[in-house]
Structure 1
Amino acid sequence: MDEGWRLRVLAVAERGARAVAASAVAVPSPRAADGAAAEVVVVVPGADDTAAGRAAEAVLRELQAGLPGHSFAVGRSRVAGAPEELHRAGNEALLAANVAEGDTDRPLLAFDDTGAYRLLLPAMSEDPAELQRFYAETVEPLVAYDDQYETDLVQTVEAFLEADGNVAGTAQRLFTHRHTIRYRLERVRELSGLDMGSTDGREKLSLGLKAMRVLGIAHRGGPATEAGAGGGRVPRR
């Protein structure tokens, strides 16, 4: 994010928050110093969680209206009752925003609504390298493969987990044939070493997907273009 764009996002976000809380302020994320993090922090004074929720909604509306053509994810922390709690609140908001970024149906997410992702907050805050290692051991090979061949292995894993391990249900969700799903799941096993047919394999890949979201790792994927990839089976190189 270049400086001009960052200042523009800051101004728009602050304008949205101040529509609800006049003393709200938007500041660059501490992570912005690395030049890569496209994040801003909005601080809303007060202990009213309902008002904070309205402010977050106003920020998202203002960003979408003021900067059309771009997508945004807004995460909201629990109330920080003292200055020493601001670091915790910032991590909660970041986790919620990262999870929201992976869910196009929920661009605004409160930390309290992140479900099992909340369990990964200590790892994200205290030992992100370990979280990164777990992601690398589970889902990263699938992400790399999807990016290289424009396949949908990660999406297939997500749909399979949502369908409680049912191939037919997964095929319905993805509007594809059951044989295609089986081919893709076999490819997942070959790439990750994890069998989606086993409880252990499903648990590890589910946690790997959560680690990917919490770490804010974007996943592209897309329609397969390489010969054979349409069925999820691409020849090894």
Structure 2
Amino acid sequence: MSTSAQSGGLAGLAAISELIESGAGLPAVARAAARALGAGLLLLDERGTALVVASASSADERELLEGGRGVERVPLKVAERGVGELRLRYRAEPAQPEVVRAIAALIALEVDRARLPDRAAEQAARKLVAQLAAGHVEDGEVAKALDALGTDLSAGATVMLLRARPPAAETGDWRDRLRSALARCVRAVVRGAVVAPLEPERARDRISEQLAVIVPAAAAPKAAERVRKALLAEVESSFPGYPHTLGISRPASEARALARALREAQLAANVGEAHGERQLTFDQTGSYRLLLPALSEDAEELERFYRETIAPIAAYDEQYETELVRTLETFLELDASFARTAERLYTHRHTIRYRLERVRELTGLDVSSSEGRERLSLGLKAMRVLGIVPPGGPAQEPGAGAGRVPRGDIRTRD
């Protein structure tokens, strides 16, 4: 082995050791190992579930997942007990076997130390989150479940909802990888945090994965802020290109307030996703907050209002691949200005007028009247509060050439 190779291997081992000692978490350790070995890296647990992928491209990731030619497999063991597998795909020359063995041993120990809680704990977390989402839980039941999960609510907690989806259709186990990576990331930062997937309410939402996180304030100084940063950093580094939004609730001072906090996190995620925000707190949702009580007390009434106002437009968009909902929302955001709406959507004012006339025909509501604008505006807010994602596509009306553009910051609006 050359002196430079030895030096590089030792530097890589030192970097990995420092990350383990600092409690950076398994994903950070795996990425450091990939850099040290000069390879694309896939880390699997003992059940064959992908935990971390560190690759230079989607093609590299695909090769690692398939485990074909050119991929080196390294068993991970602790005291002769298998804890997983490391797959390597070198970008140039293979690393020295001694370096690979040493790094694999460190990663095996980290996998064993940071392995996810047993299935009973996973199921308990899922059940708790599902009950909070349903909103019909007894205070004692919530406290008992939190106690079983080792979650200290004495100083209150913050609830977060991370929603992410792949940039293109994926048939692999991206959901399992996302759940595992983010759960490990959160638990490495804050002990006693509850992490569980939240089942989608509508078929359209199933393209995304939703992860609810309960962060106890007593677990660590500035626990919620640390988890917020860690979640966003993990998604962006381990799942580049995945659109994602993090919704954050107000603090919940007691167990009975967690259901309310989960609804707040959902609302913040819904509004943030609709407006292209990477993260949004409940306090930053502006006037959307006024509709949250309606969602919890009488969701059917809120859905009925949506059906009477926006649903016909959304159905038309889905059938004809138009952008009536986008046009209407932009028009109302820009104080009913045809000129500014046309400029924002890169199309002609006549096209905007044509689309809004079609809105009137479909709903019976005229944007030229204050009552019509008010009802349509509330209908759009109801759609966001309910978490309904309208269909989108290139506008097909005559003269339309609209492209999608980023919206203004929701945090500046009421």
* TM-score, with length taken from structure 1: 0.85
Report the CA distance between 1:230 and its aligned residue.
3.4
Name which of 270, 282, 289 aligns with 1:118.
Answer: 289
Structure of greater Rg: 2
> Which residue number corresponds to residue 235 of structure 1?
none
> Which residue number corresponds to residue 388 of structure 2?
217
> Which residue number corresponds to residue 230 of structure 1?
400
Report the CA distance between 1:33 and its aligned residue.
9.3
> Which residue number corresponds to residue 130 of structure 1?
301
Deviations 1:42-73 (A, max 9, x none): 11110699541342232122123222343222
> Which residue number corresponds to residue 339 of structure 2?
168
Deviations 1:62-111 (A, max 9, x none): 1232223432221111111111111111111111111112122x121111
List alignment gaps of at least 5 residues for structure 2: 1-164, 166-170, 403-414
Runs of 4+ in 1 over 3 A off after TM superposition: 4-7, 31-38, 47-51, 227-232
Relative contact order higher in (CA < 8 Å, ≥ 6 apart): 1
SS at match of 2:383: helix
Residue 72 (structure 1) aligned with residue 244 (structure 2): yes
More strand by share: 2
> Which residue number corresponds to residue 86 of structure 1?
258
**Alignment map for 1:178-193 (pairs within 5 Å):** 178-193=349-364
- Give yes or no for contact 2:348–2:400 (8 Å, CA) kept in 1: no
Report the CA distance between 1:20 and its aligned residue.
4.0
**Alignment map for 1:197-216 (pairs within 5 Å):** 197-216=368-387
**Alignment map for 1:5-154 (pairs within 5 Å):** 5-18=174-187, 20-29=189-198, 31=199, 38-46=209-217, 51-104=223-276, 106-154=277-325
More helix by share: 1
SS at match of 1:44: strand
Report the CA distance between 1:174 and its aligned residue.
0.9
Amino acid at match of 1:99: V
- Give yes or no for contact 1:49–1:79 (8 Å, CA) kept in 2: no
SS at match of 1:43: strand
Q: Take 1:126 and 1:157, find their aligned partners in 2: how far apart are those partners? A: 28
Report the CA distance between 1:141 and its aligned residue.
0.8
SS at match of 1:73: strand
Assess, with a 3 A threshold, how the Cα gap between structure 1 residues 132 and 217 changes in structure 2: closer, same or farther: same
Q: Take 1:200 and 1:54, find their aligned partners in 2: how far apart are those partners? A: 45
SS at match of 2:213: strand
Higher mean displacement: 35-44 or 213-222: 35-44
Amino acid at match of 2:303: Q
Pairs aligned (count): 229
Amino acid at match of 1:230: A
Assess, with a 3 A threshold, how the Cα gap between structure 1 residues 204 and 16 changes in structure 2: closer, same or farther: farther
Q: Take 2:240 and 2:343, find their aligned partners in 1: how far apart are those partners? A: 33
- Give yes or no for contact 2:351–2:399 (8 Å, CA) kept in 1: no
Report the CA distance between 1:16 and its aligned residue.
3.5
Higher mean displacement: 14-23 or 59-68: 14-23
Q: Take 2:275 and 2:253, find their aligned partners in 1: how far apart are those partners? A: 29
SS at match of 1:26: strand
Amino acid at match of 2:235: L
* TM-score, with length taken from structure 2: 0.51
Report the CA distance between 1:198 and its aligned residue.
0.9
Q: Take 1:165 and 1:50, find their aligned partners in 2: how far apart are those partners? A: 43
Q: Take 2:401 and 2:316, find their aligned partners in 1: how far apart are those partners? A: 14
Name which of 365, 371, 374 aligns with 1:194.
Answer: 365
Assess, with a 3 A threshold, how the Cα gap between structure 1 residues 164 and 58 changes in structure 2: closer, same or farther: same
Q: Take 1:230 and 1:212, find their aligned partners in 2: how far apart are those partners? A: 25
Q: Take 1:221 and 1:42, find their aligned partners in 2: how far apart are those partners? A: 30
Q: Take 1:202 and 1:140, find their aligned partners in 2: how far apart are those partners? A: 16
Higher mean displacement: 144-153 or 216-225: 216-225
Amino acid at match of 1:8: R
Report the CA distance between 1:32 and its aligned residue.
5.7
Assess, with a 3 A threshold, how the Cα gap between structure 1 residues 184 and 50 changes in structure 2: closer, same or farther: farther
